[in-house]
Structure 1
């Protein structure tokens, strides 16, 4: 079993916003963050994340918990598996209660292998010559950890000699096994380590220099490596991205290396795949302007078109730069065209304009039927945008098609009404405030318990009992904790005044009940009336009374 101290140590390193925003898009909403819930179908965001309280809760379906619970639910893992996954992602060593040696972090194999690849680069003149020909400096080689993978036998031998298991190597995607034969996945290639945002190596990209059929290969999908969520060199670029509020996305590793070398240290690259919706949470961090820097060939333009549709529909700001004539950013840096690159990146084609122009370019607009089809396809795209942007670009599209704007009819989007918060039907703000105060200010809890019990609450006695049982991960308590419309009392005087008001109302209700009771004896009824009236008198003087 994983030791509790180890789990608590990992928890202290986790930030729930970082964990969740690696999986889904989140947006600032007051002191909290909101998102479309990943656990049920909804149109308006009811999923709330509190960085301060380190919890999340969905007011639509009731899902809630901490960072570990989120990974469990999203990845469909049990508790130990989620702990181990988060430990791997954060380079944290777990310890176990069976007195065995602490588990070796799985990323240690990747780190050792990367260091070995880097050391081999110095022994490979062919690889060095290629990098030198492309203009890659020694400083860049060191910064990006560029290395060289030898033949398969040497890599397998290195893994075994360093006492790593082949099963671990296969699980991490650096080796494979077929029909009892073990082999390395990266053979005679220049190697580019791929990191998660916190810096841990989770995969590799390799470029052939000996004529292999595949020019570039990446690590396969593993428990740690998901190319649809990662961007090459994001770990190196993130500070510049946050500072400049800009990110340049390219297609290749060398483009990134050379752009950083030229001072464009906000550059990253996709990993052999087009930009996907899973990339958007990462791109949303820091709210940067996004520049897509793609090749001018058909594949590059198609990828830029797909990315532009995705980003514009997601409300991102930025645009597209297309490199024509077979050139790419790496070539231009090597040729010393830094000023030209700077000017290009400062004037990208806005996403919406690029999508509309590329869409129309696919039709023969001299043909009326083709022109009509181009109009319908363009309108279909515009409908993915906000109503304001639809209206703004109606004239642009009309001008490109040389038609009247009145022919462009757009249906405004209507947001689906947000689902009501998951709260009890009987809803009493004061009682909920009392419960919230007990959760947020435990020191006040003892004072509350001196005067109030669960049976005194008309609507939320159950939730009061949950607090007493310290079941803070209960969905009902999480909903109360994250509901910003429910205030809490943070000082004793405010709480004292509220308790006086509540208790006065409580004992007035109790007095009325006693006065209307028929089955009690005269003596008992008289005693209760005197007792309750005495408490009400004390409360009117501002004195609290016990039940």
Structure 2
């Protein structure tokens, strides 16, 4: 049993805003924070977190309690389980009454990380790679960078230290193959320890230096490690983020290390994944300006576009900085271009302008039909913004398209953001798909093999909310109550609807690519062949996976 004085000490260490804010987006309201209640569906936020009292209360459904109670209710944990999870998240050692005097779940990862750091000092190849990238010895120490050896060596080390194999598997340090044999998750890789915002070590990232197929790998999903909620080096960047009210989000661990080395200590990175809605509560803390520092290649621009849509819809301030010519922030620091780097970061492209410009750039505006497509896609994006921003950016969209602002019709009225305006045939179909997902959530995994939010022209945002199970979204609530929108009946009915939709989609993409002048002849020919093949397979009644 956990000792009561240990529980009391843990409670004194917990910040309820940090705890609740790691699950839901909190917005300041005077001396408190508010959010839509995570325990019942509502349109207006009535869930209040009071940091002075260390408690939360919902004026809608009546739930209330402290940080421990919140984790119990949200994660469906027992009282001891919630305490242990919270203690692990801030690296707090719990004391137990009876046989075991104490329990420190993260000790295994800490011990392993210390060993990795010592091994780095002995591995010349890894040291030369890091030196070549321009990383100082002081940065290696600050970020705890190490080296993971062969699988057998890691297993033997854990056995020699008499560390629990079961716990090593639970924490993602080891795995067990289909044949039952143990293996280390990180093999011949430079290791980057990953910490929770509270400072507890929860996992690792690893970069190969011996030619493994995957350049980077991360710890698997565990009770402590969720790559969609964590940001690399946030625990080191946090003070600067709160002080400067700015956070730089990059795509790579080495970008973060080098930016910190150059004095940009507000830099963090996603963990090999795109920025997701689950990252937003962490990014919201301190209400900083968010700068996306991404590569300027095709993949980087696509990631920046997706993240910019997410952040602009969430009301974040900030913008995008793209690094062209094959360079990245780490390269600029290594080359001594710190002043130029600072200049780029001081003048980002605002999120909304970036989305509109990138969206329109994929269309040949000399073709009237292509221009119409660009108009529809731009208006669909504006609908995700607040009414004020919609109005402010109508002239910007019009100027980029070379049309009159009067053509930018978004829809007005208090229900504009809840109920679709001026349904077209495609509007209704997309809403039917979303309603089907809401009423039959078990189909989501299979459905995502064939369709994703980006394929929808008008309601991508609502579709993504439905896929996340965001039941409190007022647009989804309105959709469920709208009897005009039907649900696709049965698996076969859904399949036929998807085939019809995908044929239309790929025909549209085929027409778009034939009018593009921004891709090479070879690339255009390849895409045309791909789209025609997909269309033919769909016409034969075969659902074609994405990719």
For Structure 1 versus Structure 2, the TM-score category normalised by the shorter chain is: 0.7 to 0.9
| 1:132 aligned residue | 131
| 1:232 aligned residue | 232
Q: Residue 96 in 1 paired to residue 110 in 2?
A: no
Say if 2:36 and 2:43, in contact at 8 Å, map to a contact too: yes
Say if 1:386 and 1:413, in contact at 8 Å, map to a contact too: no
Measure how far apart 1:87 and its partner are: 1.2
State the distance in 2 between where 1:142 and 1:91 align.
Answer: 19
Say if 1:36 and 1:43, in contact at 8 Å, map to a contact too: yes
Say if 1:319 and 1:350, in contact at 8 Å, map to a contact too: yes
Residue range with higher mean Cα deviation, 359-368 or 132-141: 359-368
Measure how far apart 1:413 and its partner are: 6.4
Say if 1:147 and 1:190, in contact at 8 Å, map to a contact too: yes
State the distance in 2 between where 1:103 and 1:157 align.
Answer: 25
Assess, with a 3 A threshold, how the Cα gap between structure 1 residues 186 and 205 changes in structure 2: closer, same or farther. same
C-alpha deviations, 1:460-485, integer Å up to 9, x for none?
xxxxxxxxxxxxxxxxxxxxxxxxxx
Q: Secondary structure at the match of 2:122?
A: coil
State the distance in 2 between where 1:209 and 1:340 align.
Answer: 30
State the distance in 1 between where 2:387 and 2:400 align.
Answer: 20
Q: Residue 149 in 1 paired to residue 148 in 2?
A: yes
Measure how far apart 1:332 and its partner are: 0.8
State the distance in 2 between where 1:243 and 1:9 align.
Answer: 28
C-alpha deviations, 1:320-367, integer Å up to 9, x for none?
011111111111111111111000000000000000011111222221
C-alpha deviations, 1:411-439, integer Å up to 9, x for none?
2463799xxxxxxxxxxxxxxxxxxxxxx
| 1:507 aligned residue | none
Measure how far apart 1:2 and its partner are: 2.1
| 2:204 aligned residue | 204
State the distance in 2 between where 1:242 and 1:95 align.
Answer: 33
C-alpha deviations, 1:142-186, integer Å up to 9, x for none?
111110000001111111111211110000001101222011000
State the distance in 2 between where 1:302 and 1:261 align.
Answer: 28
Q: Residue 366 in 1 paired to residue 366 in 2?
A: yes
State the distance in 2 between where 1:120 and 1:41 align.
Answer: 51
| 1:354 aligned residue | 354
| 1:422 aligned residue | none
| 2:46 aligned residue | 46
- The residue correspondences of 1:161-180 to structure 2 (distance < 5 A) are 161-178=160-177, 179-180=179-180
Measure how far apart 1:103 and its partner are: 3.7
Assess, with a 3 A threshold, how the Cα gap between structure 1 residues 96 and 413 changes in structure 2: closer, same or farther. farther
C-alpha deviations, 1:70-100, integer Å up to 9, x for none?
1011112121111110111122222233x11
- The residue correspondences of 1:2-41 to structure 2 (distance < 5 A) are 2-41=2-41
| 1:306 aligned residue | 306
| 1:441 aligned residue | none
Structure 2, unmatched stretches of 5+, are 418-547
State the distance in 2 between where 1:326 and 1:182 align.
Answer: 40
Residue range with higher mean Cα deviation, 182-191 or 103-112: 103-112
State the distance in 1 between where 2:160 and 2:338 align.
Answer: 46
| 1:503 aligned residue | none
Q: Secondary structure at the match of 1:40?
A: coil
Say if 2:95 and 2:103, in contact at 8 Å, map to a contact too: no
Assess, with a 3 A threshold, how the Cα gap between structure 1 residues 251 and 414 changes in structure 2: closer, same or farther. same
State the distance in 2 between where 1:253 and 1:28 align.
Answer: 31
Measure how far apart 1:191 and its partner are: 0.5
**Residue correspondences, number:** 416
Q: Secondary structure at the match of 2:116?
A: helix
Say if 1:44 and 1:416, in contact at 8 Å, map to a contact too: no
State the distance in 1 between where 2:413 and 2:89 align.
Answer: 39
Q: Secondary structure at the match of 1:231?
A: coil
Q: Secondary structure at the match of 1:122?
A: helix
Measure how far apart 1:246 and its partner are: 0.8
Residue range with higher mean Cα deviation, 399-408 or 360-369: 360-369
Q: Residue 110 in 1 paired to residue 113 in 2?
A: no
Measure how far apart 1:402 and its partner are: 0.4
Assess, with a 3 A threshold, how the Cα gap between structure 1 residues 413 and 288 changes in structure 2: closer, same or farther. farther
Measure how far apart 1:199 and its partner are: 1.4
- The residue correspondences of 1:239-250 to structure 2 (distance < 5 A) are 239-250=239-250
Which has the higher Rg, Structure 1 or Structure 2? 1
- The residue correspondences of 1:385-396 to structure 2 (distance < 5 A) are 385-396=385-396
Measure how far apart 1:213 and its partner are: 0.1
| 2:59 aligned residue | 59
| 1:193 aligned residue | 193
C-alpha deviations, 1:437-462, integer Å up to 9, x for none?
xxxxxxxxxxxxxxxxxxxxxxxxxx
| 2:274 aligned residue | 274
Assess, with a 3 A threshold, how the Cα gap between structure 1 residues 415 and 172 changes in structure 2: closer, same or farther. farther
- In the superposition, the TM-score normalised over structure 2's length comes to 0.74
- CA RMSD of superposed structures (Å): 1.4
State the distance in 1 between where 2:103 and 2:63 align.
Answer: 33
Q: Residue 287 in 1 paired to residue 315 in 2?
A: no
Assess, with a 3 A threshold, how the Cα gap between structure 1 residues 241 and 415 changes in structure 2: closer, same or farther. farther
| 2:326 aligned residue | 326
C-alpha deviations, 1:236-284, integer Å up to 9, x for none?
1111111111111000000000111111111110001111111111111
